[in-house]
C-alpha cells in the first residue's frame, strides 16, 4: 500500500463508541471489507429480552460507516490493535491490506502482544520522563528558594543569580517578571505590549495560572507579536506580582489524509451518514501556534507560586518582628527616660512645694488679693505636678518590676485599708460605699493589688461625687463564665467610644473640672495583666460605670 507516514486524521474519524470498545477489546479484524453480514437470530434474546452483546466477539460485523470508510480508502482488509496508556486510548496500530486477507490466530496474537509491549514501554517512558523533569524542577526551585532567602529580594533572586526562573520551564528563553518593575529575559514582547496584555487580559482571568499555545486567538492584540509569544504561561503570585513564560511561534505544516474539513455527510440513498470519499494528501499551514507546554509545567508553576508565597509571608513576618522588637526597645527607652526624668524632677518639685507652703504661711499676709490668688494657683499646680510625677514613677516601676511575689490577700481587709489610707470616706463624706460581706481572697502581689483597688475606688468616688446620692458598690459577680470583681458607681459614666482608650496612659475622657493625671487606669490594666488577668468597663453615660476585673489563678505559684 502507499505509505501514509506523517499523515494526520481528524479525531472524529474514530467515533466515541469505537474508542470505548477498543479499551475493552484490544484487537479488531476485518478480513474482507466486502463481507456480507449475517443476522443473529432471534434478534432479541428470549432469556434476557435484550439484543445479544457481541462487543467482545472477534467475528462480529463492524459499523457500515467504517466499512464504507475503508472502501473509500481502497482498503481490502484491516487488523487494528489498541495502544492503551494509563487507561486511555493513546493510539492504534492499524494494518491495512489491499485485498481480503485472513490473519491467522498467531498473527493476530503477535500484533496484540506488540501493542501491549508498546503500551507498557510508552507508560514507562512517560512516567520516567515526568519524574526526571519533576526532579530537575524541584532542584531548580530549591535553589531559587535559597536565592530568595539569601538576597531577600524576590526580583533579584529570580532573575540575576546563577539559577533563574526561566530555567524552571522550558520556554525558549523568553520570560518576564513583574513587581511594578519589569524584567525582561530573552526574546519577549516589549514593555508597552506587556502592560496591555497584563491589564487588558491576564488580570481579568479568573484563575491564577493561564496557559495557551495560541495567545492571539484569546487576545487578538497579541497577533502583533505572535512570532515571539504565541505560547503563554502566566502565573499570578499575588496582586501586582506576575511571572510570564513565553514560547515563540512555530509555523507548522500538517499533512492530512484528506481534507479534515470534509467530514461525514448524510447519504440520501443509504439513509445514513457516509464518510468522506477523498483521502488525498491535504496540507495545512498552522500559524500563531507555539510548541505545546509540558504536562508538568502547570504544576511546576503552581509549586513555584507556593514557594514564593511562603517566602513573602516569612519576609513579612520578619519585618513585623523586627519592627515589633524596635518598638519594644523604643518603648523601654521611653519608659526609662520618663522614669529618670520623673525621678529627677521629684526633688525640685517637692522643694518648690515646700518653699511655696512657707511663703503661704509666713508671707501671704504681705500680698494683695491678686498675689494671694496667684500663690494659691501656683501651689495647686505644684500639687498637680507632684501627683503626676508620683503616678509616672508608679507606672514605670510596674514596667520594670521583673517578678511579682504571690501571696493570698484578704480582699475585704485590703479594701478597708485602701479607704482608710486615703481618707476616702472623709474626702467624700456624701458617698455611700456598699461592700459585699463575703469576698473571695485574691492571689497576687499585695502592694500592686492595693494600688489596683485604690485607683478603681478613687475613680468611682471622684466621678460620682457630683451625683445627688453617690453610691459605690463593690463585690463579685459572674462574667464571661467566671467569677470577677466589680466596682460600680452611679456617676457620670463613660462614652462607649472612650471605653478602650481610657486604659492607656494620659488618656482622660473628662474636662479639667475633675482632677487627675490619666494614668490610674493604665496602672490598673498593667497590674491586672501582670497577674494574668483582665480589666474592662461597662457603662451608661450619665448613669454610672461598672469596672470589672479578674486575676489569673496564681495560687500554686510563688513568684511569676
d(CA 21, CA 35) in angstroms, rounded, equals: 21
Q: Residue 488 CB, nearest distance to ligand ADP (Å)? A: 9
Q: Residue 493 CB, nearest distance to ligand ADP (Å)? A: 6
Tell whether residue 30 is a contact of ligand ADP (CB under 6 A). Answer: no
Q: Residue 517 CB, nearest distance to ligand ADP (Å)? A: 5
Question: How far is CA 398 from each of CA 335, 343, 401, 500, rounded to the nearest angstrom?
Answer: 10, 14, 5, 20
d(CA 92, CA 81) in angstroms, rounded, equals: 6
Q: Which of residues 308 and 385 has its CB atom nearest to ligand ADP in the complex?
A: 385
Q: Which of residues 420 and 500 has its CB atom nearest to ligand ADP in the complex?
A: 500
Q: Residue 471 CB, nearest distance to ligand ADP (Å)? A: 12
Per the CB < 8 A criterion, the answer to whether 218 and 191 are in contact is no
Per the CB < 8 A criterion, the answer to whether 251 and 277 are in contact is no
Contacts of 480 (CB under 8 A, 6+ apart): none
DSSP letter at 407?
A: E
**What three-state secondary structure class fits 552?**
coil
With CB under 6 A as the contact rule, the residue among 460, 472, 474, 528 that binds ligand ADP is: 460
Tell whether residue 519 is a contact of ligand ADP (CB under 6 A). Answer: yes
Tell whether residue 388 is a contact of ligand ADP (CB under 6 A). Answer: no
With CB under 6 A as the contact rule, the residue among 463, 486, 548, 550 that binds ligand ADP is: 463
Quick one: which of 472, 448, 452, 474 has its CA closest to 521? Answer: 452
Q: Residue 473 CB, nearest distance to ligand ADP (Å)? A: 12
Q: Residue 333 CB, nearest distance to ligand ADP (Å)? A: 23
Burial 264-283 (b: 16+ CB within 10 A, else e): beeeeeeeeebbbeebeebe
Quick one: which of 514, 506, 494 has its CA closest to 395? Answer: 506
With CB under 6 A as the contact rule, the residue among 489, 526, 527, 530 that binds ligand ADP is: 489
Q: Which stretch binds ligand ADP (CB under 6 A): 46-54, 113-121, 374-382, 487-495?
A: 487-495
Tell whether residue 520 is a contact of ligand ADP (CB under 6 A). Answer: yes
Tell whether residue 433 is a contact of ligand ADP (CB under 6 A). Answer: no
d(CA 376, CA 360) in angstroms, rounded, equals: 8
Tell whether residue 455 is a contact of ligand ADP (CB under 6 A). Answer: yes
User: Quick one: 337 exposed, middle or buried, by C-beta within 10 A (0-12, 13-18, 19+)?
Assistant: exposed
With CB under 6 A as the contact rule, the residue among 76, 258, 444, 491 that binds ligand ADP is: 491
Q: Residue 482 CB, nearest distance to ligand ADP (Å)? A: 23
With CB under 6 A as the contact rule, the residue among 26, 517, 535, 548 that binds ligand ADP is: 517
**What three-state secondary structure class fits 298?**
helix
Q: Which of residues 83 and 454 has its CB atom nearest to ligand ADP in the complex?
A: 454
DSSP string, 364-405: GGGS-HHHHHHHHHHHHHHHHHHHHHHHHHHHHHHHH----B
Q: Which of residues 243 and 535 has its CB atom nearest to ligand ADP in the complex?
A: 535
For the segment 530-549, give every residue that binds ligand ADP (CB under 6 A): 545
With CB under 6 A as the contact rule, the residue among 516, 526, 533, 549 that binds ligand ADP is: 516
Angle (deg, nearest 10), helices 411-421 and 446-462:
60
Q: Which of residues 37 and 541 has its CB atom nearest to ligand ADP in the complex?
A: 541
Q: Residue 452 CB, nearest distance to ligand ADP (Å)? A: 11
Q: Which of residues 154 and 527 has its CB atom nearest to ligand ADP in the complex?
A: 527
Q: Which stretch binds ligand ADP (CB under 6 A): 26-34, 154-162, 277-285, 457-465?
A: 457-465
Cis peptide before 339 (omega within 30 of 0): no
Q: Residue 494 CB, nearest distance to ligand ADP (Å)? A: 5
Q: Which of residues 248 and 516 has its CB atom nearest to ligand ADP in the complex?
A: 516
Tell whether residue 382 is a contact of ligand ADP (CB under 6 A). Answer: no
Contacts of 502 (CB under 8 A, 6+ apart): 494, 508, 509, 521, 537
Tell whether residue 518 is a contact of ligand ADP (CB under 6 A). Answer: yes
Question: How far is CA 253 from each of CA 285, 287, 482, rounded to the nearest angstrom?
Answer: 4, 9, 80
- How many residues bind ligand ADP, per CB under 6 A? 21
* Helix residue spans in 401-547 (DSSP H): 411-421, 424-427, 446-462, 520-530
With CB under 6 A as the contact rule, the residue among 184, 492, 535, 551 that binds ligand ADP is: 492
Q: Which stretch binds ligand ADP (CB under 6 A): 87-95, 296-304, 398-406, 514-522?
A: 514-522
Q: Which stretch binds ligand ADP (CB under 6 A): 87-95, 207-215, 436-444, 456-464?
A: 456-464
d(CA 557, CA 550) in angstroms, rounded, equals: 17
d(CA 205, CA 203) in angstroms, rounded, equals: 6
With CB under 6 A as the contact rule, the residue among 521, 527, 528, 554 that binds ligand ADP is: 521
Q: Sign of dihedral through CA atoms 103, 105, 108, 114?
A: negative
Tell whether residue 389 is a contact of ligand ADP (CB under 6 A). Answer: no
Tell whether residue 499 is a contact of ligand ADP (CB under 6 A). Answer: no
d(CA 278, CA 258) in angstroms, rounded, equals: 6
Strands 471-479 and 432-435: parallel
Binding site for ligand ADP (CB under 6 A): 455, 459-460, 463, 489, 491-494, 502, 508-510, 516-522, 545
Amino acid at each position: 500500500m502507499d505509505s501514509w507516514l506523517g499523515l494526520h486524521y481528524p479525531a472524529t474519524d474514530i467515533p466515541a463508541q469505537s474508542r470505548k470498545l477498543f479499551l475493552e477489546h484490544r484487537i479488531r479484524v476485518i478480513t474482507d471489507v466486502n463481507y456480507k453480514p449475517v443476522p443473529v437470530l432471534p434478534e432479541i434474546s428470549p432469556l434476557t429480552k435484550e439484543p445479544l452483546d457481541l462487543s467482545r466477539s472477534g467475528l462480529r460485523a463492524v459499523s457500515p460507516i467504517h466499512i464504507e470508510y475503508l472502501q473509500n480508502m481502497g482498503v481490502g482488509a484491516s487488523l487494528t490493535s489498541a495502544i492503551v496508556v494509563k487507561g486511555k486510548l493513546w493510539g492504534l496500530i492499524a494494518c491495512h491490506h489491499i485485498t481480503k486477507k485472513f490473519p491467522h490466530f498467531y498473527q493476530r496474537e503477535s500484533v496484540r502482544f506488540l501493542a501491549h509491549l508498546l503500551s507498557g514501554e510508552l507508560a514507562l517512558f512517560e512516567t520516567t520522563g515526568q519524574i526526571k523533569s519533576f526532579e530537575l524542577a524541584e532542584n531548580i526551585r530549591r535553589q531559587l528558594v535559597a536565592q530568595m532567602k539569601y538576597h531577600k529580594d524576590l526580583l533579584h533572586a529570580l532573575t540575576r543569580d546563577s539559577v533563574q526562573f526561566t530555567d524552571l520551564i522550558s520556554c525558549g528563553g523568553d520570560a518576564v517578571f513583574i513587581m511594578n518593575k519589569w524584567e525582561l529575559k530573552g526574546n519577549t514582547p516589549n514593555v508597552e505590549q506587556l502592560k496591555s496584555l497584563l491589564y487588558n487580559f491576564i488580570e481579568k482571568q479568573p484563575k491564577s495560572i493561564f496557559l495557551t499555545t495560541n495567545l492571539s486567538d484569546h487576545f487578538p492584540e497579541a497577533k502583533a507579536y505572535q512570532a515571539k509569544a504565541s505560547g503563554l504561561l502566566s502565573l499570578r503570585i499575588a496582586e501586582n506580582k506576575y511571572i510570564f513564560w513565553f514560547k515563540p511561534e512555530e509555523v507548522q505544516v500538517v499533512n492530512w489524509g484528506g481534507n479534515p474539513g470534509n467530514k461525514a455527510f448524510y447519504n440520501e440513498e443509504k439513509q445514513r451518514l457516509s464518510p468522506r470519499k477523498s483521502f488525498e494528501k491535504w496540507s495545512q499551514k498552522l500559524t500563531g501556534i507555539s510548541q505545546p507546554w509540558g504536562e508538568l509545567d502547570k504544576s511546576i508553576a503552581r509549586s513555584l507560586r507556593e514557594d514564593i508565597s511562603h517566602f513573602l509571608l516569612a519576609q513579612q513576618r520578619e519585618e513585623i518582628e523586627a519592627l515589633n522588637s524596635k518598638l519594644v526597645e523604643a518603648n523601654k527607652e521611653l519608659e526609662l527616660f520618663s522614669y529618670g526624668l520623673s525621678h529627677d524632677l521629684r526633688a525640685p518639685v517637692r522643694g518648690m512645694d515646700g518653699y511655696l507652703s512657707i511663703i503661704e504661711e509666713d508671707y501671704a499676709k504681705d500680698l494683695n488679693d491678686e498675689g494671694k490668688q496667684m500663690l494659691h494657683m501656683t501651689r495647686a499646680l505644684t500639687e498637680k505636678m507632684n501627683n503626676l510625677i508620683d503616678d509616672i514613677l508608679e507606672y514605670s516601676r510596674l514596667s520594670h518590676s521583673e517578678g511579682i511575689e504571690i501571696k493570698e490577700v484578704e480582699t475585704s481587709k485590703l479594701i478597708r485599708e485602701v479607704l482608710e489610707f486615703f481618707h476616702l470616706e472623709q474626702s467624700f463624706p456624701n458617698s455611700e460605699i456598699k461592700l459585699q460581706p463575703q469576698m473571695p481572697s485574691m492571689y497576687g502581689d499585695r502592694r500592686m493589688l492595693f494600688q489596683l483597688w485604690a485607683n478603681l475606688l478613687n475613680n468611682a468616688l471622684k466621678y460620682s461625687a457630683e451625683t445627688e446620692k453617690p453610691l459605690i458598690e463593690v463585690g463579685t459577680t459572674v462574667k464571661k463564665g467566671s467569677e470577677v470583681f466589680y466596682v460600680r458607681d452611679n456617676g457620670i459614666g463613660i462614652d462607649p467610644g472612650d471605653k478602650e482608650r481610657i486604659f492607656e496612659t494620659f488618656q482622660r475622657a473628662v474636662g479639667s473640672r475633675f482632677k487627675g493625671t490619666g494614668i490610674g487606669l493604665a496602672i490598673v490594666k498593667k497590674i491586672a495583666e501582670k497577674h494574668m488577668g483582665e480589666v474592662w468597663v461597662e457603662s451608661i453615660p450619665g448613669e454610672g460605670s461598672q469596672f470589672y476585673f479578674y486575676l489569673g489563678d496564681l495560687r500554686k505559684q510563688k513568684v511569676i
